[in-house]
């Protein structure tokens, strides 16, 4: 099940790139129109860190959320972030 989620997450990142979304060094998401996107917070469980994320519509037209730290990791390191045992830290 986790592998399926990872594949979807990867596809959503690819879709965001194809649509023209970009990320700055500071972690700001820039939409295809050039405007900064508003980021939402995602708390995975009580007491955990807050993950920033942004939403797009996937290839099927569904609203999906992408973690900013994963998108930024992909922008910097490419497909290597999807390797087995690789974790993208959010600092």
Res. 64 pLDDT band, cuts 50 70 90:
very high
Q: Please name which of 4, 13, 6 lies closest in space to residue 71, comparing C-alpha atoms.
A: 13
With bands split at pLDDT 50, 70 and 90, how would you rate the model's confidence at 5?
Answer: low
Average pLDDT of the segment spanning 7-15: 91
Indicate the pTM of the whole model: 0.82
Please tell me the predicted confidence (pLDDT) of residue 43: 72
Higher confidence at residue 79 or residue 44?
A: 79
Cβ atoms of 21 and 56 within 8 Å: the answer is yes
Strand partners, 30: 22, 36
pLDDT in tens, 12-59: 999 999 999 999 989 899 999 999 998 888 776 666 678 889 999 988
What is residue 66's DSSP assignment? E
Q: Rounded distance, CA 78 to CA 80, Å?
A: 6
């Amino acid at each position: 099940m986790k592998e399926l989620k990872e594949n979807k997450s990867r596809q959503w990142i690819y879709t965001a790139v194809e649509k023209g979304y970009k990320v700055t060094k500071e972690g700001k998401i820039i939409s295809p129109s050039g405007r900064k996107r508003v980021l939402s917070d995602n708390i995975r469980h009580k007491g955990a860190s807050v993950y920033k994320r942004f939403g797009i519509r996937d290839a099927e037209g569904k609203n999906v959320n992408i973690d900013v730290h994963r998108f930024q990791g992909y922008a910097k390191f490419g497909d290597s972030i999807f390797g087995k045992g690789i974790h993208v830290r959010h600092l």
